[in-house]
Structure 1
Amino acid sequence: MLSGIRLDEVRSLLRQLHCRSGESPVVEMKSKFFELMLNIMMRMISGKRYYGENISGREEQDQVQRFREIVRETFEVSGATNVGDFVPIVNWFGFLNKKGLEKRLVVLQEKRDEFMQALIDEHRSVRPGRDEDDHSQARRKTMIDVLLSLQETEAEYYSDEIIRGIIQVMLSAGTDTSAATSEWALSLLLNNPECLKKAQAEIDAKIGHNRLIEESDLAQLPYIHNIINETLRMYPISPVLAPHESSEECSVGGFRIPRGTMLLVNLWALHNSRELWVEPDKFKPERFAGFDVERDRFVMMPFGSGRRGCPGEGLAKRVLGLVLGSLIQCFEWERPGEDMVDMTEGTGLTMPKARPLLAKCTPRRSMLKLLSQI
């Protein structure tokens, strides 16, 4: 139902890149990907965009400014690890909360709740009327609208608090993760131009030059999927999975694990193990050509596995495929200089690049007409 929003935002990025290509072909892509993912998610959630074009009006500008400040502070504090959460004994020695992290988190949560509640109240006051036809109602629906309609029949399961929580999870888990993966993928392609050319050839053969790629085309582009999988293998955005807990006492690798133990799965080590992968430090999308998801699910699981696996996996792969496919179809990509792209990993809750990606972006001659019509 919301695929049109994702397509519209990706094409907005294509338009930005095309318009600025005459000024300077070198683009800082980290912020481009991050703003794209936030716009996609917030338009699906609330019907509003908070970055780029088409933002006007004093009240709307104030709301945009508040949202951007909340986003900035959220990702600033989310990267600050509290050792006391993982090694409780340090709390006894007064090391906890040295920089007032807990207090900052409480204040930030109040800001987020206030902002999200305002969005919910706004949608509640302008819910589609019952006399509108089905087409009009569908056109106006967002995730908040859907959740508010469920609230009417199942109020105990869809309280405002639950709706706020769902919105915050979508934003925190579905924006920075996809943005960083897009940046890693494009960085790898710039360092491996033969793979970039192979992906471009696949798109040219399956889609052509007379129209832009859409989500429905992704099933015809297996090499794009292989690139995404190889990126997630080499640079899993959550290198250590979210904490789990042993439900029963068990033994792992000869170690006794008591019931109720916090368990941290080192996904990066699994994905880069020489026992499981041939030349794991090399970018080889072709390795996934014969990959069986069911057979190999514990060898490659960037989204976790089973009941505690990430429920956003399908959405993430569709967005990543559409973004990368569109950029490869419409532009020639090169490194700004002779040096390879720096692939050093940064710190934080997720695994960002230490240095934002700078890329040389030039519209493909065969796509100029379509780009000028976006």
Structure 2
Amino acid sequence: MMRMIGGKRYYHGNNMVELEETRKFKEIVTDTFQLSGATNIGDFVPFLNYVGINRLDKRLKDLQQKRDRFLQDLVEEHRRVRRDSCSQQRSKTMIDVLLSLQETESEYYTDEIIKGLMLVMLTAGSDTSAGTMEWAMSLLLNNPEALKKGQAELDTHVGPDKLIEESDLNKLPYLQAIVKETLRICPAAPLIPAHESSEQCTIGGFRVPSGTMLLVNVWAIQNDPTLWAEPTKFKPERFLCPEGPRDGFVFMPFGFGRRGCPGEGLAMRVVSLVLGSLIQCFEWERDGEEMVDMSEGVGLTMPKARPLFAKCWPRPAMVNLLSQL
């Protein structure tokens, strides 16, 4: 995600400066998810906010200042490179594109807007995708017949002579069904991020005052036995019908309507490509006889309580291709 945003990798460093930058970045990401998923007691007992007992507010303000400095430094670095570079062949990042738009539409593409877009991409597009892939592999290891069907589809439509590419996804409905079924059972955001009612209304007989904080329990909807047949069973086949089960607001891991997640298309492609690569290239097996633990952890997104451990080895048909990478 950071390579798309800023053209950098933050999992290693060749010198002390890069190592320090990597450390700061990882610290910011970790603190963001820890604090964003924390319960703010001040929301329930406002008095604590006034007497200074609520420490979460201070930690959130400190985090925001730290994130703002980091993102502003990244924007300024790209601004300097753009100013000093004479080459038009340099690959463009998301920041480069937004800075070029800033030159012609400065009122719409301020530094604040650019930093906001970067922050949304990082917080909503990294942990969520990684978590979804971990849940998907866990479900496949507990349902090896689905794993075999996914591999067979890849063998038929992609073959052993090349890795799966984005252009192949339209030919792989079962792979996409695996991703959708994973998002149904284990949505990355079990509660859609809070919205606020702009005016008073009545929904289902309940009066909702203006300014009410609204939370939609997507997990409960997508695992409701009155809406889904055998909701606890992993069945990608339920998403193979042409119309799909999205109508009726029963499947909405990305929210819905104009307030839905704008990164849905990117997320589906990234998760499908990575998951497809993993099952195309490797055989997978549980690390022991027991089923993979599917307990849920605590956080802003829905992590696994216990990280996934599994055995894998190259598929015989893919050894030649893998040896050339």
Q: Displacement of 1:152 after TM fit?
A: 0.5
Corresponding residue number in structure 2 for 1:62: 20
1:49 maps to amino acid: R
Residues 294, 285 of structure 1: alpha-carbon distance in 2 compared, 3 angstrom cutoff: closer
Residues 206, 304 of structure 1: alpha-carbon distance in 2 compared, 3 angstrom cutoff: same
1:221 aligns with 2:161: no
Q: Per-residue CA shift, 1:95-123, capped at 9, x if unaligned?
A: 99756211111111111111111111111
Q: Displacement of 1:257 after TM fit?
A: 1.8
Q: Displacement of 1:156 after TM fit?
A: 1.6
Corresponding residue number in structure 1 for 2:10: 50
| Alpha-carbon contact 1:297-1:305 (below 8 Å) kept | no
Q: Displacement of 1:141 after TM fit?
A: 0.4
Corresponding residue number in structure 2 for 1:115: 70
Greater displacement, 73-82 / 336-345: 73-82
Return the TM-score normalized by structure 2. Answer: 0.94
CA distance, structure 1, for counterparts of residue 245 and residue 140 of structure 2: 27
1:330 paired residue among 270, 276, 281: 281
Q: Per-residue CA shift, 1:105-148, capped at 9, x if unaligned?
A: 11111111111111111111111779645xx14xx200000011
Residues 128, 209 of structure 1: alpha-carbon distance in 2 compared, 3 angstrom cutoff: farther
Q: Per-residue CA shift, 1:223-251, capped at 9, x if unaligned?
A: 01100110111111111111222334332
Corresponding residue number in structure 2 for 1:234: 185
Corresponding residue number in structure 1 for 2:141: 190
Aligned residues: 325
Q: Displacement of 1:324 after TM fit?
A: 0.5
Q: Per-residue CA shift, 1:32-51, capped at 9, x if unaligned?
A: xxxxxxxxx10001101011
Task: Find the residue that maps to 1:243 and give its secondary structure.
Answer: strand
Task: Find the residue that maps to 1:244 and give its secondary structure.
Answer: strand
Percent identity over the alignment is 63
| Alpha-carbon contact 1:84-1:96 (below 8 Å) kept | no
Task: Find the residue that maps to 2:216 and give its secondary structure.
Answer: coil
| Alpha-carbon contact 1:70-1:108 (below 8 Å) kept | yes
Return the TM-score normalized by structure 1. Answer: 0.82
Corresponding residue number in structure 2 for 1:22: none
2:82 paired residue among 120, 127, 133: 127
Task: Find the residue that maps to 1:251 and give its secondary structure.
Answer: strand
CA distance, structure 2, for counterparts of residue 259 and residue 63 of structure 1: 44
Corresponding residue number in structure 2 for 1:207: 158
Corresponding residue number in structure 1 for 2:215: 264
2:36 paired residue among 78, 100, 125: 78
Q: Per-residue CA shift, 1:302-343, capped at 9, x if unaligned?
A: 101111000000000000000100000000011000000000
1:252 maps to amino acid: I
1:124 maps to amino acid: R
CA distance, structure 1, for counterparts of residue 158 and residue 49 of structure 2: 61
Corresponding residue number in structure 1 for 2:116: 165
Which blocks of at least 5 consecutive residues in structure 2 are unaligned? Answer: none
Task: Find the residue that maps to 1:265 and give its secondary structure.
Answer: strand
CA distance, structure 1, for counterparts of residue 10 and residue 172 of structure 2: 31
